[in-house]
Chains A and B, each alone.
Chain A
Amino acid sequence: MFDFIQYLFDGLAVGSVYALIALGYSMVFGVLQLVNFAHGELFMVGAYFVMYAISLGLPWPLALAFGMCSVGFFAVIMERLCYKPLRGAGKLAPLITAVGLSLLLQNLVQAILGPNPQSYPASLPEGYFSNALKSIFPSPEQIQLPQLPEGLFDWGEIVVRHRDLLIFIVAVAVTLGLELFLRKSRPGRGIRALALQPNAAKLVGVPFDFTISITFFIGAALAVLAGLLQGMADNQVTPYMGISSGLKAFAAAVLGGIGVIPGALVGGLVLGIAERLLVGYDLSTYKDGAAFFILIIVLLLRPQGLLGKARMVKV
């Protein structure tokens, strides 16, 4: 029994990272009914970006903010260049584009930065670009790594690491903050209106393109935050980290009810904990399949997801 509770706590951290990525999938799907398969790659690119920024000597909060903004704008440009021209072209074309973008980004990062995992603090591969950067940022005397707390809550049978709890609290706070933003702020209300009834949103004056851009920006920024947390937790980044985490986060978003913000958090935590349980009970071989097994079961019983609302389509 204590084992079981212990595994629940152990699953929080990885589940929270899934949740942070899932929020982006969910928001973008909400406004465009598009599954942005390149989203997992934004998480990976973000993890690299922040790691190098830290390695160049930037204090980590600055590196994180810088990474969130840069990858956020990158996502906005990606949407403008690759998805916007395909509006009105049906659902398949943007979906294939998303898969293509995902592969492109993975391979691009692999080609430029190498296929091997890198750990903090990492130095950029040699080359003109990195030399230029190094001349701007002379080799840092001290690198300030974000410190995840190392302590433990020790309750006898159950031990909870502070860092896991911290990651969980960050995910909950971000989800609440996002929900508040969507309900109270002007751009947030625009995003909600667009998700509920796109043409009506246009007719009340919600600026369509701008609102889509904001949605992509926020989703990407949260993925970068997830990238940093995951990078710190594993102490390494790889060009492939976006594939499995991205797919699982997508499963989490659907599981919780895609388009529903708290659903992403619930879905992420359910998957994270399920994986940890499998590992705990010596079934770790099946760990990566767990996400999709749960997804299939939930979709059979509750196609709208755990927190989704079923809606009858009026004809």
Chain B
Amino acid sequence: MSLLKVENLTVRYGAIEALRNVSFEVNEGEIVTFVGSNGAGKTTTMRTLSGIVRAASGRMQFKGTAIESLPSHQVVKLGLVQSPEGRLVFPDLSVRENLLLGAFARRASHAELNRELENVFELFPRLQERLKQDAHTLSGGEQQMLAIGRALMAKPSLLLLDEPSLGIAPLLVQQIFQKIVELNKKEGMTVLLAEQNARMALKIAHRAYVLEVGEIVQQGDAQVLLKDERLQKAYLGG
């Protein structure tokens, strides 16, 4: 069943068209990835979905609700939650406070919150070790875990991950991608992943869309795209 359906999305920054007539969908239980180089429009897509940027035209439906004109906090309430590019953790707050703010939209009870903190720690034990540290003292990889953990605290039905590998040591990137697969397999979490590291992303995704200067130029089964000649030349270094 289609959880998210986007039709003919166009986004402009002043005179520049960042996205042109982009259509895609995400089904329940899938990992879908957007690949493409810097400036292709991946982050713009994510920001538009979350209601941070407004679309010039087009339709976005999440769980059957039109979200193109909803303010960001209502999008979060519906269960469309993002871990943003650059992580954007709350620098002066502790890891724990960051995670608790993740549940801001939900008005959950203390017991519930503690249970979910446990779930996040199970996924990222490192966060539990750092619980009382201020977020800005964490390494890039740990901050990325925190950003994903914070998003999970909102109990998303669709998790948006924008560039989780950006500026992180390769070993940690591997680890984080494994966790994404784990989330998807064990908990049936639906994931929409925007990633410059096309090879990593295609390996774990079910389906993929290729963005080039604001337009979708290719789409299909991730494993098929992984072997696609044109894509290999453009994004996969061989």
Interface residues of A (CB under 8 A from B): 186, 189-190, 192-193, 196-197, 199-209, 309, 311
Give the segment of B81-89, B203-211, B219-227 that binds chain A: B81-89
Does B105 make an interface contact (CB < 8 A)? Answer: yes
Give the chain A neighbours of B81 by CB distance below 8 A. Answer: 203
Which residues of chain B from 124 to 183 have any CB-CB distance to chain A below 8 Å in the complex? 150-151, 154
Given A203-B50, A204-B105, A205-B105, A193:B90 Cβ within 8 A: yes
Q: Give, as a whole number of angstroms, the nearest-CB distance from B93 to chain A.
A: 7
8 Å CB contact of A203 from B82, B92, B93: B82
On whether the beta carbons of A205 and B88 are closer than 8 Å, the reply is no
On whether the beta carbons of A204 and B52 are closer than 8 Å, the reply is no
On whether the beta carbons of B90 and A196 are closer than 8 Å, the reply is yes
Q: Give, as a whole number of angstroms, the nearest-CB distance from B94 to chain A.
A: 12
On whether the beta carbons of B102 and A204 are closer than 8 Å, the reply is yes
On whether the beta carbons of A197 and B88 are closer than 8 Å, the reply is yes
Give the chain B neighbours of A204 by CB distance below 8 A. Answer: 76, 101-105, 150, 154
On whether the beta carbons of A189 and B104 are closer than 8 Å, the reply is yes
8 Å CB contact of A206 from B51, B84, B91, B104: B104
On whether the beta carbons of A309 and B92 are closer than 8 Å, the reply is yes
Does B188 make an interface contact (CB < 8 A)? Answer: no
On whether the beta carbons of B52 and A199 are closer than 8 Å, the reply is yes
CA distance A186 to B73 in the complex (A): 14
20 contacts between A and B (CB under 8 A): A196-B90, A197-B91, A199-B52, A199-B84, A201-B101, A202-B52, A203-B50, A203-B76, A203-B81, A204-B103, A204-B150, A205-B72, A205-B77, A205-B104, A205-B105, A205-B106, A207-B71, A207-B73, A208-B71, A208-B73
CA distance A296 to B66 in the complex (A): 53
Give the chain A neighbours of B151 by CB distance below 8 A. Answer: 203
CA distance A31 to B1 in the complex (A): 40
CA distance A201 to B88 in the complex (A): 9
CA distance A206 to B51 in the complex (A): 12
Give the chain A neighbours of B107 by CB distance below 8 A. Answer: 186
On whether the beta carbons of B88 and A200 are closer than 8 Å, the reply is yes
Q: Give, as a whole number of angstroms, the nearest-CB distance from A308 to chain B.
A: 12
CA distance A186 to B105 in the complex (A): 10
CA distance A201 to B102 in the complex (A): 9
CA distance A204 to B77 in the complex (A): 9
On whether the beta carbons of B92 and A205 are closer than 8 Å, the reply is no
Give the chain B neighbours of A209 by CB distance below 8 A. Answer: 71
The 3 closest A-B pairs by CB, nearest first: A205-B105, A205-B76, A200-B88
On whether the beta carbons of A205 and B73 are closer than 8 Å, the reply is yes
Give the chain B neighbours of A309 by CB distance below 8 A. Answer: 92
Give the chain A neighbours of B50 by CB distance below 8 A. Answer: 202-203
Q: Give, as a whole number of angstroms, the nearest-CB distance from B83 to chain A.
A: 8
Q: Give, as a whole number of angstroms, the nearest-CB distance from B88 to chain A.
A: 4
Q: Which of B52, B73, B81 has the most CB of A within 10 A?
A: B73
Add 13 more A-B contacts to A201-B101, A203-B84 (CB < 8 A): A190-B104, A193-B101, A197-B88, A200-B88, A202-B50, A203-B52, A203-B82, A204-B102, A204-B105, A205-B154, A207-B71, A208-B72, A208-B73
Q: Give, as a whole number of angstroms, the nearest-CB distance from B235 to chain A.
A: 26
On whether the beta carbons of A199 and B88 are closer than 8 Å, the reply is yes
Give the chain A neighbours of B91 by CB distance below 8 A. Answer: 196-197, 311
Which residues of chain B from 78 to 124 have any CB-CB distance to chain A below 8 Å in the complex? 81-82, 84, 88-93, 101-107
Give the chain A neighbours of B92 by CB distance below 8 A. Answer: 196, 309
On whether the beta carbons of B90 and A200 are closer than 8 Å, the reply is yes
8 Å CB contact of B72 from A186, A192, A193, A203: A203
Q: Give, as a whole number of angstroms, the nearest-CB distance from A138 to chain B.
A: 47
CA distance A208 to B81 in the complex (A): 16
CA distance A203 to B106 in the complex (A): 13
Q: Give, as a whole number of angstroms, the nearest-CB distance from A182 to chain B.
A: 12
CA distance A254 to B4 in the complex (A): 47
Chain B residue at minimal CB-CB distance from A205: B105
Q: Give, as a whole number of angstroms, the nearest-CB distance from B156 to chain A.
A: 11
Give the chain B neighbours of A208 by CB distance below 8 A. Answer: 71-73
